[in-house]
Structure 1
Amino acid sequence: MNEFIDAGPVREFTVSDAEAGPYALAEGPDGALWFTLVHRDAVARRDPGDGRVTVHPVGDGPTVIARGPDGALWFTEYRAHRIGRITADGDYSSFAPLTPEGGPFGITAGPDGAMWFTLSSVDRVGRVTVDGRVTEYPAPGAFPSAITTGPDGALWCTLNQHNAVGRLTTDGHGTAYPLPTEGAAPVGITAGPDGALWFTEIGAGRIGRITVDGAITEYPLSDPAARPHAVTAGPDGALWFTEWGSGRVGRITVDGHVTSYALSRTDSEPHGIAEHDGALWCALETGSLARIEVQP
């Protein structure tokens, strides 16, 4: 599909019907943009040249997707309770965590050549090697959600129902850092360009920053009901995030200056966000991908 809406720095490309649910996305080793279709039980690829979309059936409820160290894309299958893997040519396989009915959600390439993922329903964090060997550790709090590798060589995750950010070493030692704001319900997290971790507070309408020694700063958004969801580091040295509640994409500098960009609809439900081809792209659950130009 090549239909698009052009609104200044924001362009939207239709990639599915409204029921398919584009949810998260990542740049693949082939230079294409890969994204999950959470309600279609599929992973799709958007060609970097002509924009053609190829859909690959996978397991039930593919959610967050990340590039692996083995040149494949790895993703969580939230409803199938499995971890999926797909190569650039569409070869699909999946692996079962040790704990059943775990609700895998976040996934990231770890510092140790393996993929790390959260099991949100059972308060655990898992590790899977590229050949499918799985280990698990207790999460440092309730409902671990997004996960990323920190600059300190540890795994950092949001603890959505613990109202905290968690740190887990590669040997399974966990620490929780409670957030100052009650009911913040953190979701997205990413390593920033400043040596800290940045995260979203979907329940409080704030963006948070935590240093590797646990010092937390929170930045309130102008719209408390924006419901910031996913966050990523951009090519411009700032952090970019989706505002699920307001249908916008936000940008915050490392010193806390916030700007935002409107999408075509306030109900477009932006979820995942990632850098691709020098711009920021986000998945709109209503059936499109949005591309936001980075301004000079």
Structure 2
Amino acid sequence: MPHSPTVSITEFAVADRDAGPYGIAAGPDGALWFTLVHHGRIGRITRDGDHTSYRLASASGGPSVIAAGPDGALWFTEFRGHRIGRVSTAGDVTAFPLPTPDAGPFGITPGPDGALWFTEAGADRIGRITTDGQVTEFPLPVTGAFPSAIAAGPDDRLWFTMNQADAIGAIEGDGTVTVHTLPTPGAAPVGITAGADGALWFVEIGAGRIGRITPGDRIDEFALPDPAARPHAIATGPDGNCWFTEWGANRVGRITADGRVDEHDLPSPSSEPHGIALGPDGALWTALETGAIARLAVK
């Protein structure tokens, strides 16, 4: 049986408590980049905690999820501004408005085709944007689905959560969508990531579970010790297991391939952990909505 890891946690204050650090991703420059959802800024933090941030055109655009693109820049969604943004590692920002009004872009990930793929939570669509800003949108076969997070799978499809439809979707490069309904009603999946085992792992914020789906369509669900933990985001860690944030319980958890769960309390109470990412230093980094970034060194 895998041993429980030893985790050392350091928190770095990066903004006012109302700024809302939310999404986080490793950049090509060795730093971590994060969104400040309530202040309309993109932040950057080094391993030592040195940080800065860059102002977007609108303070109310709601930058949400961020991902490293294939062009050496960071790409992010603006949920309230209905734009896709790009920031270079020098801090130069470009914004691309979406064709569909009130699209509500949320999740974003690099695809196997060299483009960025994103969800449109307000429009029930999956979008694709090239690095020069060309946008294509694909409608989902389900209305009111609220597509949320998205990740590239091992099968060259993009896999995404359908928060209000209690389902996981997969989209091919030509826009063909397959929908997998989850066994648990009210699961409300949000975060999703490609696991080291060739499956997609996701969190069920409404049911307090972690789910796993294979490209062959097998679904497993694992209950967390605290059903009210509100798991939010998930990423593959340095140990090959999946690590996730518990927004409602102020913890970060780890789940092994066989469903064993370990949980680790964050030092600051009620810190509201959201996005989580594996850093270039081999640590896990998570954005705390109360104004900090936490680094979790795993041994």
**Which TM-score band (shorter chain)?**
over 0.9
Paired letter, 1:107: I
1:50-199 matches, within 5 Å, as 50-58=48-56, 59=58, 60-141=61-142, 142-199=145-202
Paired letter, 1:57: R
List gaps (5 residues or longer) in structure 2. 1-5
Alpha-carbon distance in structure 2 between the residues aligned to 1:201 and 1:266 = 23
Q: Are residues 1:252 and 2:255 paired? A: yes
Alpha-carbon distance in structure 1 between the residues aligned to 2:90 and 2:30 = 13
Paired letter, 1:67: A
Alpha-carbon distance in structure 2 between the residues aligned to 1:170 and 1:251 = 32
The residue that corresponds to 1:223 in the other structure is 226
Report the secondary structure of 2:44's partner residue: strand
CA shift, 1:8, in A, is 6.3
Aligned partner of 2:208 among 205, 216, 220:
205
Change (3 A) 1:266 1:220: farther
Alpha-carbon distance in structure 1 between the residues aligned to 2:236 and 2:35 = 20
Alpha-carbon distance in structure 1 between the residues aligned to 2:252 and 2:96 = 33
Paired letter, 2:150: I
Q: Tell me the alpha carbon deviations over residues 114-138 of structure 1, each in whole angstroms, 9 at most, x when there is no partner.
A: 0000000110000000000000001
Retained in 1: the 8 A contact 2:7–2:298?
Answer: no
Higher relative contact order (CA 8 A, sep 6+): 2
Alpha-carbon distance in structure 1 between the residues aligned to 2:236 and 2:140 = 25
The residue that corresponds to 1:9 in the other structure is 8
Alpha-carbon distance in structure 2 between the residues aligned to 1:122 and 1:32 = 33
Retained in 1: the 8 A contact 2:208–2:226?
Answer: yes
Q: Tell me the alpha carbon deviations over residues 1-36 of structure 1, each in whole angstroms, 9 at most, x when there is no partner.
A: xxxxxx961111111110110001111111111100
The residue that corresponds to 1:292 in the other structure is 296
Paired letter, 1:286: T
Which contiguous aligned blocks of 4+ residues in structure 1 show a shift greater than 4 angstroms? none
Percent identity of equivalent pairs: 61
Alpha-carbon distance in structure 1 between the residues aligned to 2:51 and 2:156 = 36
Alpha-carbon distance in structure 2 between the residues aligned to 1:13 and 1:145 = 27
Please report the TM-score for the alignment, with normalisation by the length of structure 1.
0.95
The residue that corresponds to 2:18 in the other structure is 19
CA shift, 1:51, in A, is 2.5
List gaps (5 residues or longer) in structure 1. 1-6
CA shift, 1:182, in A, is 0.5
Alpha-carbon distance in structure 2 between the residues aligned to 1:254 and 1:140 = 31
Alpha-carbon distance in structure 1 between the residues aligned to 2:7 and 2:172 = 43
CA-atom RMSD in angstroms: 1.2
Alpha-carbon distance in structure 1 between the residues aligned to 2:259 and 2:123 = 34
The residue that corresponds to 1:4 in the other structure is none
Retained in 1: the 8 A contact 2:124–2:140?
Answer: yes
Report the secondary structure of 2:98's partner residue: coil
Report the secondary structure of 1:184's partner residue: coil
Paired letter, 1:125: I
Alpha-carbon distance in structure 2 between the residues aligned to 1:23 and 1:8 = 22
Retained in 2: the 8 A contact 1:70–1:130?
Answer: yes
Paired letter, 2:78: E
Alpha-carbon distance in structure 1 between the residues aligned to 2:166 and 2:7 = 37
Report the secondary structure of 1:219's partner residue: strand
CA shift, 1:47, in A, is 2.7
